[in-house]
Amino acid sequence: MNEIINMIMSLFEKLTDEEKASINSALSGLFERPIPCFISELSTFNEEELVVTKNTINGLILTRENVPDLLEAYERLKNKDLPQKVSFGHLTVD
């Protein structure tokens, strides 16, 4: 369990103060208890809470790092004639 706590602490250091506050607020609501001092409280989290915490922080970081690429791609392709329909099913080969 110490390994996951170390991973969370490492990820947490990559966040801005605003992101840290947002994560703290979200996890407090999710876990239905106040988390006054995030890092010192990690030792009280059960394994499932630690996994959720790690995944939440990691997801925030991945989103933050990749949104500029998505916005740039959208701008580059917004006037292109792209398919407007998505469908699922089997492809038949004759």
pLDDT digits (tens, 9 = 90+) for 15-59: 999 999 999 999 999 999 998 888 889 999 999 999 999 999 999
Locate 30 and state its tokens: 């999710």
Quote the pLDDT of residue 76: 87
Q: What distance in Å separates the CA atoms of residue 26 and residue 14, rounded to the nearest whole number? A: 17
89 phi-psi bin (left φ>0, alpha ψ -120 to 50, beta other):
left
Quote the pLDDT of residue 31: 93
Mean per-residue pLDDT for 63-90?
Answer: 82
Give pTM, 2 decimals: 0.71
